[in-house]
Chains A and B, each alone.
Chain A
Amino acid sequence: MIQTTKMASGQQWVLVEMVQAFYEAPAYHLILEGILILWIIRLLFSKTYKLQERSDLTEKEKEELIEEWQPEPLVPAVSNDHPSLNYDVVTGPPSHKITVNGKECINFASFNFLGLLDNERVKQKALASLKKYGVGTCGPRGFYGTFDVHLELEERLAKFMKTEEAIIYSYGFATIASAIPAYSKRGDIVFVDEAACFSIQKGLQASRSFIKYFKHNDMEDLERLLKEQELEDQKNPRKARVTRRFIVVEGLYMNTSDICPLPELVKLKYKYKVRIFLEESMSFGVLGEHGRGVTEHFGVSIDDIDLISANMENAVASIGGFCCGRSFVIDHQRLSGQGYCFSASLPPMLASAAIEALNIMEEDPEIFTILREKCKHAHKALQDIPGLKVVGEAFAPALHLQLEHSTGSRESDVRTLRSIIDYCLDRQIALTQARYLDKEERFLPPPSIRVVVTVEQTEEEIEKATSCIREAALARLE
């Protein structure tokens, strides 16, 4: 009690002394102090100056700088013999028989797995649709661009895949590339296979999330990353509570033609509470008894996959893509999928073609068995070609033939493969190289020839193609 009074009086005394000193101080001193205080306040409140403002360039100097600046050319020059500049020209329909650069060939290059591209029923449906709706939709889905056939196609796809809901896009590439950023935002984490195709890579880039690549189909590597993340989360549980996690994989990989180990992925999903997005462009309409894709192939419940996306440009032989899954997930894209909201909808005649293709697939599931047999046949026939190795599963309809021994230079490898293709083109076998953007790919796959198997190819044709490739390899790889 006494002590506090003492302290209080002590403080009081200091105050009194300060006031006294203030009165006694000479005026110039006070003014000086005042200016100093004002100066400090100014410094505290003035904006941190920018470097830009400090550069006291005169107008003339600026003009000189502007005059001096020379931009790079808009695009670098492309030499006329650039391997990807001169396209092969297809005259007539790119169906089973195809005319490439004026030569009639058997098509081993288009992703027309089920041969629906020149199916008469599909064409007639497209034609009927054309007569009813015209070609274009003249608007996005929101603004009078939703046609009754779009709704029907979505319903049919959902039914086909046995999911609650499906959503269609007007461009295959844009499907997964729009779906990923609709869910995964800045700060979220995506675990993705190194072999993921380019549209996945673009979707990931657009999402601005943290991307963690795991080794292709290596579940141990994925689990290592997931564990790492778990430890990270324990350090910062508050952040972990709002950080969404996704695994993005392909069913059949476009770039490697092998299948993802889905059952293990589902196990990891529940263990580490990560959602799975599955890209099935290569496996939809191919794998499984009814062509439902990898989930059916492995007997995994489709409800365990959060989102499945696929294009309708391969097996379905139309244009566009779709996503399917539970309404809780899919419906979100109707306002957040950029490629859905901001783009004109799919031309109704292409939607009708897709519906008819689904009809055919549903009526005759035998077609998938036939395709698988053909694939196995081709896969077997392509083995032991000197200098070339087959990459991909036996049941994959689009295989890669890679050089067994690379010359070390990508350019010369590409040329060698091209010479094999030209050799085959001359002998009525249409093949193509798998094309990539060398500088843009995250993990650039080695150059390869694509061999696409379809149900329309007969065993003789497959024999002919493989022996032709064998001859070409012998002739060109010596």
Chain B
Amino acid sequence: MTESSASREENGGPCHGAANGLKEGRNGFVKNHHHPQKKIHKQRDEKVHHGSCNGGLYSRPFIESFEETPMLVAVLTYMGYGILTIFGYLRDFLRARKIEKCHIAREREEQKDFVPLYQDFENFYTRNLYMRIRDNWNRPICSVPADKVDLVERVSYDYNWTFSHTGRVVKDVINMGSYNYLGFSENKGSCADAVAEVTLKYGAGVGSTRQEMGNLDGHEELEKLVARFLGVESAMAFGMGFATNSMNIPALAGKGCLILSDELNHASLVLGARLSGSTIRVFKHNNMQSLEKLLRDAIVHGQPRTHRPWKKILILVEGIYSMEGSIIRLPEVIALKKKYKAYLYLDEAHSIGALGGRGRGVVDYFGLDPTDVDIMMGTFTKSFGAAGGYIGGKKELIDYLRSHSHSAVYATSMSPPVVEQIITSMKCIMGEDGTTIGTERIQQLAENTVYFRRRLREMGFIIYGNNDSPVVPLMVYMPAKIGAFGREMLKRNIGVVVVGFPATPIIESRARFCVSAAHTKEMLDQALSAISEVGDLLQLKYSRHRILPTLDRPFDETTYEECED
């Protein structure tokens, strides 16, 4: 199509910190700087785009970068996968000939003549690639997943096919993996005390659904509190974050509706959209041009074949993307949604509590009005150290969900101790417990985030995402380095999450750190020096910090143009 409408020009002020002078592109994305005071818009293209890419919508600098994968690294990564695949085939061949011992669980003899439960190629990746580095996932822990965590030591004598526990415990591993943003994952303190009391009074379960006999007073209290926390009219809580998406989107959209979904949306949003029976179209990650084009086309052309107008259009986005560390361009999304009369479903799974001066999530972060978002969804798993999810919005919306949500009708309601944990931690964040612990933690998280990201970038790692996002992906790229990074970090007593295909694009394997308010500066420094050490060992400091000449940059519809004086 065209280029971005709004080309930004800005002075590299001191506020841009480490990112200043960087110009990075990735798959056609180029990082964006928005600065509220210094913005000059240039119309560079012939087509007019209204209001979409408007730096003036931002009340704070919006610095997000995705440095391009160096060519050599990309080539080596593909080679790595190539070699692994060749060896995979070779070993499959050996296994089939019984030369190599086969550890794979087998079909029962009685059912050998059934249609195979799995296609052979389906598990090729698991068998030959994942299995080599399986020890980096599902590491069992035996303590609170707080700033430090105790791991159950396990060993494998058959190349990760089976694990056995040694009985020893790896003590005090610095936890950079859990989504414990505000440090409410605790077994002591006011939250835990309140939960203990509720546990003794109520027990663990409920034994019924909300609509039948499982609507406890605690649930109603929680929902009122959530509504107040979010600044919306009404809210409803559900027992599982994943199911909050997958079981409520079908109640909101159906046949004849259009769902516009970010390409990197979480599996639960994708499943919910699919279960709804709506038409689904995908826009490029956080790309407002792509979203606007889809919106325009949808309204102008109507439904496919019949050309009837769409009943409604629902935009599905997340607050913080958990694999990219990017923050949604919410001001622009809201402008678009208003202009095109679409509805906005915002999933704040990672951002609630973790962003904004008052911990109210991405809406707070941008200083926007929560009533501009039609459906405010989020989870209690992360910042609140509990489990479950919520949806907030207008009273009509929540009333409708109370009577039509799949979860309210068919799923057992939330466990009372979990409800209590959310209530106490949320009150703490709101300062209603009479302390300033909540505010301090929000402040601490923001500081930790900026510090951790800045230091990593200075070390020369390629770090994705927004400067203010506590989710910090560090690019590792090569398949062999995924396993090596996880293991080397554990050797240095630091627990990190490493992710590869299929959770990321094939060449963009990464390690992910989740910064927490519970981390002290000493812990972060210890982690950072270990990361740096391992980074040197594995040659992970890929960043070139160089400015790409204008003409070298990918030049397509998704490119954001930007000039710096």
Instruction: Tell me whether A and B are bound partners.
Output: yes
Q: Do B108 and A349 touch across chains, with their CB atoms under 8 A apart?
A: no
Nearest A residue (CB) for B405: A437
Chain B residues contacting A240 (CB-CB under 8 Å) are: 115
With contacts A66-B296, A335-B126 taken as known, whether A198 is within 8 angstroms of B406 at the C-beta atoms is: yes
Stretch at the interface among B14-22, B241-249, B540-548: B241-249
Interface set, chain A 136-162, CB cutoff 8 A to B: 136-139, 141-148, 150-151
CA–CA, A59 and B110, complex, Å: 67
Interface set, chain B 240-272, CB cutoff 8 A to A: 240-243, 246-247, 250-252, 266-268, 271
Chain B residues contacting A349 (CB-CB under 8 Å) are: 199, 204, 417
CA–CA, A274 and B382, complex, Å: 42
Interface status of B106 (Cβ within 8 A of chain A): yes
CA–CA, A57 and B268, complex, Å: 38
Nearest B residue (CB) for A208: B274
Instruction: Write the B320-348 contact mask toward A (1 if CB under 8 angstroms, else 0).
Output: 00000000000000000000111100000
Q: Do B410 and A130 touch across chains, with their CB atoms under 8 A apart?
A: no
CA–CA, A350 and B386, complex, Å: 12
Chain B residues contacting A13 (CB-CB under 8 Å) are: none
Interface status of A119 (Cβ within 8 A of chain B): yes
Interface set, chain B 108-152, CB cutoff 8 A to A: 108, 110-111, 113-119, 123, 126, 130, 137-146, 149, 152
With contacts A89-B220, A347-B387 taken as known, whether A133 is within 8 angstroms of B497 at the C-beta atoms is: no
Q: Do B212 and A432 touch across chains, with their CB atoms under 8 A apart?
A: yes
Nearest A residue (CB) for B142: A148
CA–CA, A430 and B246, complex, Å: 31
Chain B residues contacting A123 (CB-CB under 8 Å) are: 199-200, 203-204
Chain A residues contacting B480 (CB-CB under 8 Å) are: none
Stretch at the interface among A21-29, A292-300, A322-330: A322-330
Chain A residues contacting B300 (CB-CB under 8 Å) are: 55, 57, 62, 65-66
Q: Do A144 and B149 touch across chains, with their CB atoms under 8 A apart?
A: yes
Q: Do A172 and B412 touch across chains, with their CB atoms under 8 A apart?
A: yes
CA–CA, A286 and B391, complex, Å: 35
CA–CA, A342 and B272, complex, Å: 13
Interface status of B459 (Cβ within 8 A of chain A): no
Q: Do B187 and A134 touch across chains, with their CB atoms under 8 A apart?
A: yes
Interface status of A2 (Cβ within 8 A of chain B): no
Interface status of B397 (Cβ within 8 A of chain A): yes
* Most A C-beta atoms less than 10 A away, residue of B213, B380, B381, B399: B213
Minimum distance in angstroms from A58 CB to a CB of chain B: 11
Interface status of A467 (Cβ within 8 A of chain B): no
CA–CA, A15 and B109, complex, Å: 68
Interface status of B239 (Cβ within 8 A of chain A): yes
Interface set, chain B 154-197, CB cutoff 8 A to A: 175, 177-180, 184-187, 191-192, 195-196
CA–CA, A328 and B210, complex, Å: 37
Minimum distance in angstroms from A315 CB to a CB of chain B: 9
Minimum distance in angstroms from A137 CB to a CB of chain B: 6
Chain B residues contacting A136 (CB-CB under 8 Å) are: 145, 184-185, 380-381, 384-387, 418, 421
With contacts A138-B185, A206-B274, A244-B117 taken as known, whether A313 is within 8 angstroms of B299 at the C-beta atoms is: no
Q: Do B299 and A135 touch across chains, with their CB atoms under 8 A apart?
A: no
Which of B341, B411, B415 makes the CB contact (< 8 A) with A70? B341
Interface status of B214 (Cβ within 8 A of chain A): yes
Interface status of A436 (Cβ within 8 A of chain B): yes
CA–CA, A110 and B267, complex, Å: 32
Q: Do B108 and A303 touch across chains, with their CB atoms under 8 A apart?
A: yes
Interface status of B309 (Cβ within 8 A of chain A): yes
Chain B residues contacting A94 (CB-CB under 8 Å) are: 202, 206-208, 213-214, 216
Instruction: Write the B376-410 contact mask toward A (1 if CB under 8 angstroms, else 0).
Output: 00011110111100000000110111111011011
Which of A85, A109, A130 makes the CB contact (< 8 A) with B196? A130
Q: Do B213 and A148 touch across chains, with their CB atoms under 8 A apart?
A: no
Chain A residues contacting B217 (CB-CB under 8 Å) are: 89-92
Interface set, chain A 75-110, CB cutoff 8 A to B: 75-78, 82, 84-85, 87-95, 98, 100, 107, 109-110
Stretch at the interface among B85-93, B310-318, B363-371, B555-563: B310-318
* Most A C-beta atoms less than 10 A away, residue of B152, B246, B396: B246
Chain B residues contacting A368 (CB-CB under 8 Å) are: none
Nearest A residue (CB) for B107: A328
Interface status of A202 (Cβ within 8 A of chain B): yes
Q: Do A172 and B411 touch across chains, with their CB atoms under 8 A apart?
A: yes
With contacts A135-B421, A143-B178 taken as known, whether A183 is within 8 angstroms of B117 at the C-beta atoms is: yes
Minimum distance in angstroms from A318 CB to a CB of chain B: 5
Interface status of A344 (Cβ within 8 A of chain B): yes
Interface status of B54 (Cβ within 8 A of chain A): no
CA–CA, A87 and B212, complex, Å: 8
Q: Do A135 and B239 touch across chains, with their CB atoms under 8 A apart?
A: no
Interface set, chain A 111-143, CB cutoff 8 A to B: 111-112, 116-119, 122-123, 126-127, 130-139, 141-143
Chain A residues contacting B204 (CB-CB under 8 Å) are: 117, 122-123, 126, 317-319, 349-350, 353-354
CA–CA, A273 and B379, complex, Å: 42
Interface status of B71 (Cβ within 8 A of chain A): no
Chain B residues contacting A171 (CB-CB under 8 Å) are: 239-240, 242-243, 411
CA–CA, A424 and B471, complex, Å: 53
Number of chain A residues whose Cβ lies closer than 8 Å to a Cβ of chain B = 123
Chain A residues contacting B551 (CB-CB under 8 Å) are: none
Chain B residues contacting A327 (CB-CB under 8 Å) are: 105
With contacts A74-B312, A123-B204, A146-B141 taken as known, whether A329 is within 8 angstroms of B117 at the C-beta atoms is: yes
Interface status of B440 (Cβ within 8 A of chain A): no
Chain B residues contacting A151 (CB-CB under 8 Å) are: 140
Chain A residues contacting B342 (CB-CB under 8 Å) are: 71
Q: Do B387 and A52 touch across chains, with their CB atoms under 8 A apart?
A: no
With contacts A130-B187, A135-B421, A313-B205 taken as known, whether A143 is within 8 angstroms of B137 at the C-beta atoms is: yes
With contacts A139-B178, A143-B178, A435-B209 taken as known, whether A174 is within 8 angstroms of B240 at the C-beta atoms is: yes
Q: Do A146 and B202 touch across chains, with their CB atoms under 8 A apart?
A: no
* Most B C-beta atoms less than 10 A away, residue of A242, A335, A344: A344
Chain B residues contacting A191 (CB-CB under 8 Å) are: none
Interface status of A450 (Cβ within 8 A of chain B): yes
Chain B residues contacting A52 (CB-CB under 8 Å) are: 297, 301
Chain B residues contacting A145 (CB-CB under 8 Å) are: 145, 178
Q: Do A343 and B240 touch across chains, with their CB atoms under 8 A apart?
A: yes
Which of B186, B203, B312 makes the CB contact (< 8 A) with A71? B312
Interface status of B48 (Cβ within 8 A of chain A): yes
Chain B residues contacting A329 (CB-CB under 8 Å) are: 117
Instruction: Write the B481-499 contact mask toward A (1 if CB under 8 angstroms, else 0).
Output: 0000000000000010100
Chain A residues contacting B299 (CB-CB under 8 Å) are: 65-66, 69
Interface status of A211 (Cβ within 8 A of chain B): no
CA–CA, A380 and B308, complex, Å: 57
Nearest B residue (CB) for A319: B415
Minimum distance in angstroms from B202 CB to a CB of chain A: 4
Which of A130, A146, A314, A435 makes the CB contact (< 8 A) with B199? A130
Q: Do B202 and A93 touch across chains, with their CB atoms under 8 A apart?
A: yes
CA–CA, A430 and B213, complex, Å: 9
19 residue pairs from A and B, CB less than 8 Å apart: A70-B341, A74-B375, A75-B400, A78-B396, A90-B213, A123-B204, A135-B386, A136-B418, A138-B178, A170-B387, A173-B406, A173-B411, A311-B412, A317-B203, A317-B204, A329-B117, A342-B268, A343-B242, A353-B205
Q: Which residues of A contact B (CB under 8 A)?
A: 52, 55, 57, 59, 62, 65-66, 69-78, 82, 84-85, 87-95, 98, 100, 107, 109-112, 116-119, 122-123, 126-127, 130-139, 141-148, 150-151, 170-174, 183, 197-199, 202, 205-206, 240-245, 270, 273-275, 303, 311, 313-314, 316-319, 326-329, 331-332, 334-335, 338-339, 341-344, 346-347, 349-350, 353-354, 430, 432-437, 440, 450
